Amino acid sequence: MSVPRRPYVMLVALCLLVIGCSAGAVQTFDPSGPRDAAGPGPAAAEARSVEPLRRPGEIPDLGPRTRAQIPAETRQVVVVTGQGPDSNRSAVVLHNLDDPALGWRPGAGPWPAHNGREGWTDHHLAGDLRSPVGVFGLTDAGGRLPDPGSLLPYDEQSRFAVSGEGFLGEPLEGSFDYVVAINYNRTPGTSPLDRTRPLGGERGGGIWVHVDHGGPTQGCVSLTEDRMRELLLTLDPAKYPVIVMGDAASLAR
């Protein structure tokens, strides 16, 4: 005589009914959170909100050591990023800190630029044809042409006239029509033409941002004339502007 199977079947069906939702949830679990017809759930939105990992408002591609050299009072930074340690080509971007709550924001650029013929160095010496790596103040300007409206002190001098040829045979005339002195081995608050060298003459000097002549420099950074004029009209001594310059790998440290 066989035992009726109906109660056993009903018991199994009842168990499946009780555990069915949880079993289905395990099988279809989505780590991004629950979903419905409206799209991803709140967990997915929260996960997206924490990207990117870089904190918002930081100047991109600068490492902690480089950022630490930017003075606390600075509100304008000109970043010159070389293509490589031995490259004489670079890109310039101006960043502003208008609202500390929002952080740094790009204000102009990227602009193509030239730097020293042999690239970059963290120990510049006179005649090495490399641009110095570091963070330097921008306090003084000048040039052969009249002041276009610079906010920095501007020294108009015929002594800024230059002649001859660059490394590629290009004419140098007009290269110093507009210049901004980079405070490497110089006394801030003086004309870019001042030849005082606090670190000594062997460490070089006369490092400027000036008008590009179509080739590498002896250590300066050069921009087209219209960009130089724009830079002069933008740099504000009340914002304590600095230039952060070097090859990409050095700046990322």
Task: Using a pLDDT cut of 90, give the percent of the chain over it.
Answer: 77
User: 74 with 97: CB under 8 angstroms?
Assistant: yes
Q: Give Rg (Cα) of the chain.
A: 30
Among 217, 190, 226, residue whose Cα is nearest residue 80: 217
User: 178 with 137: CB under 8 angstroms?
Assistant: no
Give yes or no: 123 in active site.
no
Using CB atoms within 10 A of its CB, is residue 196 exposed (0-12), middle (13-18) or buried (19+)? exposed
Catalytic member of 114, 124, 210, 213: 210
Task: Using a pLDDT cut of 70, give the percent of the chain over it.
Answer: 78
Q: pLDDT, tens digit, for every residue of 202-233?
A: 999 999 999 999 999 999 999 999 999 999 99
Q: The whole model's pTM is what?
A: 0.78
Tokens of 244: 């952060």
| Amino acid letter for position 122 | D
Residue of higher predicted confidence among 88 and 9: 88
pLDDT at 13 over 80: no
Work out the pLDDT band at 56, boundaries 50, 70, 90: low
User: 204 with 107: CB under 8 angstroms?
Assistant: no
DSSP string, 154-175: EEE-GGG---SB-TTS-B-TTT
Give yes or no: 220 in active site.
yes
Work out the pLDDT band at 4, boundaries 50, 70, 90: very low
Catalytic member of 95, 114, 124, 220: 220
pLDDT at 195 over 50: yes
Q: So what's the pLDDT on residue 244?
A: 98
Q: So what's the pLDDT on residue 58?
A: 93
Q: So what's the pLDDT on residue 142?
A: 98
- Per-domain residue ranges of the chain: 6-49, 64-251
Q: So what's the pLDDT on residue 57?
A: 86
d(CA 175, CA 143): 9
Range 37-57 average pLDDT = 46
d(CA 146, CA 105): 31
Q: pLDDT, tens digit, for every residue of 15-43?
A: 333 333 333 333 333 433 433 334 444 44
3-class secondary-structure state, position 27 = helix
- Kind of pairing between the strands at 134-137 and 141-143: unpaired
Work out the pLDDT band at 48, boundaries 50, 70, 90: very low
Q: pLDDT, tens digit, for every residue of 131-161?
A: 999 999 999 999 999 999 999 999 999 999 9
